[in-house]
Amino acid sequence: MEALQREIADAAAFADDLPFDPDAVAVDGPVEADASGNERLGPSSDAPVIVGVDQAFLDERAVSAIVAVQDGAVIERAHAVTQLSIPYIPGLLAFREGGPILAAIEELSVEPDLAVFDGSGRIHFRQAGIATHVGVVLDLPSVGVAKTLLCGEPAEPVDGRPAGWSTPIEAGPDVEAPEGTTIGHAYQSRQWDRSQSINPLYVSPGHRVSAATTRDLVDALCAGYKLPEPTRLADRYADEVKAEYE
């Protein structure tokens, strides 16, 4: 599995090769979850279709949820319930959740322009986190958004930073990349005004996106919550589907 990850990292493009202008991406406010107001029946413009991907679990089954957003509105949701066979092992997450995610994406009728994954991309021991792995398999532009850091080193302390702040995550001895290579960023999407502090997000390129653009895209996709809208919606949808299966 590790050898395959090195091949995937080799095939991955950590430079911008997007079918749309990343500077044109923006989500004004929180997106309504479903048909409660601004859902359309399918893609209606040439604006990029961005999908959020997340999972929930019941016993040894994975509930993979996909929510497609375009112009700040949900245009489609899809999901799949799959039997799991591989345990969770840090560094090998894609082998456990990759198949289930592909099954859910196959249920989608729209063609995504970008996928936002819950987990790392290039911030990975062999530069092949789940965002990179699935992105390469589908040759789909992708980014990874993780809530905790798997490996690498922040260029500076990350505690108590204001919203909008970010710092590079550099490759250390634990990453198979030249020492100091920027493999992603710590990005503070949200912060409290006083007292309590919120941890930053750890964002990294999946495939066909650079580290800087990944940070900018996540920044543009956040709308008042810690997680970017596509991810937050997929998170909620996964819980919704899970509830129906138990």
Question: Which residues are near DNA by CB under 7 A?
Answer: 54-57, 88, 90-94, 118-120, 124, 129-131, 144, 146-151, 193-195, 238-239, 242
Complex with DNA: residue 43 or 121, whichever CB lies closer = 121
Complex with DNA: residue 60 or 156, whichever CB lies closer = 60
C-alpha span between 46 and 167 (Å, rounded): 33
Distances from the Cα of 238 to the Cα of 24, 48, 55, 194, 243, angstroms: 28, 23, 6, 32, 9
CB of 21 to DNA, least distance (A): 28
CB of 24 to DNA, least distance (A): 28
CB of 89 to DNA, least distance (A): 8
Structure tokens at 34: 């479903």
For residue 60, the one-letter residue type is E
Q: Are strands 182-187 and 142-146 parallel, antiparallel or unpaired?
A: unpaired
Complex with DNA: residue 142 or 213, whichever CB lies closer = 142
CB of 167 to DNA, least distance (A): 17
Is residue 121 within 8 A of residue 156, CB to CB? The reply is no
Complex with DNA: residue 20 or 57, whichever CB lies closer = 57
* 71 among annotated binding-site residues: no
Complex with DNA: residue 44 or 147, whichever CB lies closer = 147
Which helix (H) or strand (E) is 99 found in, with range? helix 93-106
The torsion angles phi and psi of 141, rounded to 5 degrees, stand at: -55, 135
Torsion, Cα of 171, 177, 178, 179 (10° steps) = 20
CB atoms < 10 A from the CB of 194, how many? 5
Name the residue with tokens 């653009």.
213
* 113 among annotated binding-site residues: no
CB of 18 to DNA, least distance (A): 21
Could you list the residues known to form a binding site, using ranges. 54, 118
Could you list the residues known to form a binding site for Mg(2+), using ranges. 54, 118
